[in-house]
Amino acid sequence: MTQAAAINPLLQPWPGPDEVPPFAEVRPEHFEPAFDHAMAEHLAEIDAIVAQGAAPDFDNTIAALERSGRTLGRVSDVFFNLTGAHTSDAIMKIERVMAPKLAAHDSRIDLNEPLFRRIEAVARNRAGMGLSAEQERVLERYVTDFRRAGAHLEPAAKTRLADIGERLAELGTAFGQNVLTDEQDYTLILDGKDDLAGLPDFLIAAAREAAEERGMDGKHVITLSRSSVEPFLQFSARRDLREKIFKAWIARGDTGGKTDNKAIIAQMVALRAERAKLLGYPTFAHYRLDDSMARTPSAVRGLLGEVWPRARARALADRDALQELVQEEGGNFRLAPWDWRYYAEKLRKKLHDVDEETIKSYLQLEKIVEAAFDTAHRLFGLNFRPRTDVPVWHPDVRVWEVTGEGGHLVGLFFGDYFARTSKHSGAWMTTLRDQEKLSGNIRPLVVNVMNFSKAADGEPTLLSFDDARTLFHEFGHGLHGLLSDVTYPSISGTSVLRDFVELPSQLYEHWLERPEVLRRFAVHHRTGEPIPEALLERLLKSRTFNQGAATVEYVSSALVDLDYHSLEKADGLDVPEFEKAALARIGMPEEIVMRHRSPHFQHVFSGDGYSAAYYSYMWAEVLDADAFRAFEEAGDIFDQATAQKLRDNIYAAGGSRDPEAAYIAFRGRMPTPDALLERRGLLDAVSAGEA
């Protein structure tokens, strides 16, 4: 180890509690040398696997691959946690430098022909090796992953694939940073009482806090964080300001300046199409979906096509009802996208006697976190104890020690709940360390990141019901990481097929919506009184209100994603025109916009996570809606026998089994979309042709 490496905290043993990274000691300048050292170490480990004289077997090839790259994994986990949750100009500069370097490093391994020959040799001779079911699965994934990377191709094709990988990494990094810059640069300053018209106290307080964070004492600021924009659109009586913030919100990445993402999208779609052709697939969508539960683009279109006309019909009916409300109030204008949430909130109040401000007063962040923990305790026997001695990357981050039955340590859980300028928008789960047993009993360090508006000092942070659902969703992902019980790192936790990964998270949302949970944890932030039964009943009855619009927002995004990646060639792609034409084909209502317009569609273009796979949330929703029925059929939403089957086959299994086999082991069969349609209130919706 060089002298520089010897004093780099990223390359030293981490002596702190549970070997958590020493965030206070890590500075931006440590990352590049740490990455360089770790990549060199990893390549040396790969060379040693290839160079050994022994015949390939599972331990000297597959398990050796699983043991390799540990230092690189540690450095990467720290770095990419910061790039998402607490970035800076220095970190973003390093990210731009490292993205193509890391992609090139991956290609050197994934396209290593001698290494691939060893992997294939293990696969050919597996019958005599006495492999366990988990080892069989790990081996299968290695063969699949290397072939999908192009390890079997001719040298010229490999070289081009490596070049494409590096360029896509550069473009994806630039895309995400451009969106973040647009979000950071824009604020809607509310100056005076007139600008605050219609805003409830909690939103005024959050806007004041956002202004103070930006050095604008005495002002109020609405940011482009979803947790700031959406409630403003919901409550602001100032139609001109709603229009202003809405247009800024949907224009992220589409400003025409240096942060404009349209050219990046065109390049990424073209490169992905070329990559798919090199690998023998007609389109990138075919390539991507070949390694998924859905298998084919036609299967995805089949599901989305079943949901779309029902959702569109419901949304159009709701649009007409909202337009009537506009006219009843004397409005002489046609409903616009920046009006939808405002009048939908009024209509919900009118139809169900439920309004967001009232509900929010019963949903305190602390209590919803407690509810998520209590649900995990009742289902899986987990306990959560606050820890204040664990290093964190920002003072707002909180840590809990997670223990199971008998007091054994399961892992640590980190909650990073509040929006800030150094954080990307959205919500996600990640890890600082994955569970595994190959190198001992390695316990996971699991992270949830969200972007809730932080309340003023001394006041509780209040959540919308959607915020609370998001918290449960991400905690469901967190449980997938915490409860993982596998030997091999590559199949740990959330390392499953993309359209299966949302099942544990979306399933967990169901418990939030149950009276058994809300009666205990939905308590008024002033009086401490539980939510009144009549209000609770109205809230639950209104759960499917506005689901037509919400489903249209989502499905349109999924279809546009699929359309981009179904192109056989994308040279000269005109992104605005393509998006416009795709929406016109499906009859997108003018009053609703995609949940993620192309220029800020980070799921799809800020990296490769959900490219051609944004449908995954709905695919998994078919599973989660049916899966929760297992508890309902048992007559107890905390039924222990059902919870044990869920834990064993879904949460603890990671990627150790084929997803379909795992689901059938839990449920006994695969589901139909009926439970999804019923949950969204669309089962009886008329088709588009009847609307």
- The predicted-structure confidence for 333-370, as pLDDT tens digits, reads as follows 999 999 999 999 999 999 999 988 899 999 999 999 99
Contact between residue 553 and residue 687 where contact means Cβ atoms under 8 Å apart: no
DSSP, res 127: G
Spatial contact of 303 and 673, defined as CB atoms under 8 Å apart: yes
Q: Which of 490, 507, 506 is nearest to 654 (CA)?
A: 490
Q: What is the DSSP letter of 386?
A: E
User: How far is the C-alpha of 480 from the C-alpha of 508, rounded, in Å?
Assistant: 10
Q: Give the model's confidence band at 690: pLDDT under 50 very low, under 70 low, under 90 confident, else very high.
A: very low
The DSSP H or E segment spanning 184 is helix 155-185
Helix, strand and coil in the chain, % to nearest 5? 60, 5, 30
With 0-12 / 13-18 / 19 or more C-beta atoms within 10 angstroms meaning exposed / middle / buried, residue 97 is: middle
Residue-level pLDDT at 105: 98
Same fold, 3-110+112-152 and 262-360+545-679: yes
Residue 429, classed as helix, strand or coil, is: strand
Strand partners, 452: 418
Any idea where the domains of the chain sit in the sequence? 3-110+112-152, 187-250, 262-360+545-679
Query: Which sequence positions are flagged as catalytic?
Result: 474
Q: Is the pLDDT of residue 216 over 60?
A: yes
- In this prediction, residue 688 carries a pLDDT of 38
Cα separation, 483 vs 493, in Å, equals 8
Q: What is residue 691's predicted lDDT score, i.e. its pLDDT? A: 31
Whole-angstrom Cα distance, residue 223 to residue 578? 29
Closest CA to 650 of 631, 637, 634, 663: 663
The burial class, CB within 10 Å (0-12 / 13-18 / 19+), for 688 is middle
Question: Quick one: pLDDT at residue 2?
Answer: 66
Q: Under a CB-based contact definition with an 8 Å cutoff, are residues 439 and 433 in contact?
A: no
Tokens of 215: 């050095």
Using DSSP bridges, classify how beta strands 409-418 and 445-452 pair: parallel, antiparallel or unpaired. Answer: parallel
CA distance 548 to 680: 8
Rounded-to-integer distance, Cα 395 and Cα 413, Å? 15
User: What is the CATH number assigned to the segment(s) 3-110+112-152?
Assistant: 1.10.1370.40
Which two three-digit tokens encode residue 416? Answer: 């990073």
The three-state (H, E, C) secondary structure of 238-258, written as one string = CHHHHHHHHHHHHCCCCCCCC
The share of the chain scoring above pLDDT 90, in percent, equals 91
Mean pLDDT for 542-557 is: 96
Name the one residue in this structure whose structure tokens are 């915020």.
467
Over residues 283-309, the pLDDT tens digits come to 999 999 999 999 999 999 999 999 999
CATH number among 3.40.50.300, 3.20.80.10, 1.10.10.2120, 1.10.1370.10, domain 262-360+545-679: 1.10.1370.10
3-state DSSP call for residue 13? coil
Is there a contact between 656 and 486 (Cβ–Cβ < 8 Å)?
yes
Per-residue pLDDT at 17: 84
Tokens representing residue 552 in the block: 């249209």
Rounded-to-integer distance, Cα 448 and Cα 481, Å:
11
Per-residue pLDDT, averaged over 139-161, amounts to 98
Give the model's pLDDT for residue 3.
63
87 near 422, Cβ under 8 Å?
Answer: yes
- Greatest alpha-carbon pair distance for the chain in Å reads 84
Q: How far is CA 54 from CA 50, 57, 58, in A?
A: 10, 8, 12
